[in-house]
């Protein structure tokens, strides 16, 4: 089977002139307002919060699972959030080919929900790492990355204690073969060095996409780097890509 790309990924039917976003709020989400701000104020698109206890995602074109510590990250990161009432609709949205983007804790929730393969475990150095990192764009031909160039370097912050991406060898091979690794941690020259890998993720993986290319998760925080005044606007491209992927059909 040929790997999906931005051109072959599902093109969900747009409901209005501009795509409407849902930002899911779990108890303990803390990057929800940042994502909301980027969508509404930076990109000028309609966006609403959707509470974890709600059950409908009707009317939304794209769904954001924000960063934070949902349900206190008790048991495992994302393990309890994965069964929140809204998650049945999130899974349905994915099955319909709708776009879903999980950031940090949102990525962890997507892995726990098996919408993305693998898992995120404690950083190899056992530290909570909060710093700016360099990401290399590994696949610019996805609905989430059309605003970037292949191998473009992005400056985006990370803030996590459990961001070491792991998966079994067969899954890793599949991710690599199908170009589903979207971002890798790199050094400032774009080389994949151990020093440039802040958490010990396998193959320096910072972000991946599902087999249909409509669900992406990443540990770094593009919503915290979407305006120059915040130190970098490099993260804006992901949200902008999503909007243009939804509009240009």
Partner 1 sequence: MAQVKVVVTLKPSLLDAQGRVVQDALHALGYESVSQVRIGKYMELEVNGDGDLDAQVKEMCSRLLANPVIENYTYEVVK
Q: Catalytic site residues? A: 104, 221, 223
159 binds partner 1 (CB under 8 A): no
91 binds partner 1 (CB under 8 A): no
73 binds partner 1 (CB under 8 A): no
- What's the rounded Cα separation, in Å, for the pair 83 and 203? 29
CA distances from 30 to 7, 33, 52 (A): 33, 7, 13
Among 121, 129, 159, 233, binds partner 1 (CB under 8 A): 121
Among 32, 34, 61, 112, binds partner 1 (CB under 8 A): 112
Contact segment (CB under 8 A) with partner 1 among 43-51, 114-122, 136-144, 146-154 equals 114-122
126 binds partner 1 (CB under 8 A): yes
Among 11, 15, 18, 122, binds partner 1 (CB under 8 A): 122
Residues in region 173-202 near partner 1 by CB under 8 A: 200
The residues of the shown chain that bind partner 1, judged by CB under 8 A, are: 75-76, 79-80, 83, 111-112, 117-119, 121-126, 164, 166-168, 200
């Amino acid at each position: 089977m040929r790997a999906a790309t931005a051109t072959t990924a599902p093109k969900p039917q747009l409901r209005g002139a501009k795509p409407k976003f849902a930002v899911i709020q779990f108890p303990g989400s803390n990057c929800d307002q940042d994502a909301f701000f980027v969508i509404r104020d930076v990109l000028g698109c309609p966006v609403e919060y959707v509470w974890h206890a709600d059950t409908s995602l009707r009317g939304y074109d794209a769904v954001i699972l924000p960063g934070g510590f949902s349900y206190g990250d008790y048991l495992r990161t994302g393990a309890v959030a994965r069964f929140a009432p809204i998650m049945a609709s999130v899974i349905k949205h994915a099955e319909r080919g709708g776009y879903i983007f999980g950031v940090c804790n949102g990525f962890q929730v997507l892995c726990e929900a098996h919408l993305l393969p693998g898992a995120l475990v404690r950083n190899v150095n056992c530290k909570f790492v909060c710093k700016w990192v360099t990401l290399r764009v590994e696949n610019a031909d996805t609905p989430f990355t059309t605003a970037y160039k292949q191998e473009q370097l992005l400056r985006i912050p990370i803030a996590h204690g459990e961001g070491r991406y792991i998966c079994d060898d067969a899954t890793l091979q599949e991710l690599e073969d199908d170009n589903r690794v979207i971002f890798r941690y790199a050094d400032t020259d774009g080389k994949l060095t151990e020093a440039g890998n802040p958490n010990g993720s396998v193959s320096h993986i910072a972000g991946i996409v599902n087999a249909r290319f409509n669900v992406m998760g990443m540990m770094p925080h593009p919503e915290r780097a979407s305006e120059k005044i915040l130190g970098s606007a490099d993260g804006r491209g992901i949200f902008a890509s999503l909007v243009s992927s939804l509009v240009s059909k």
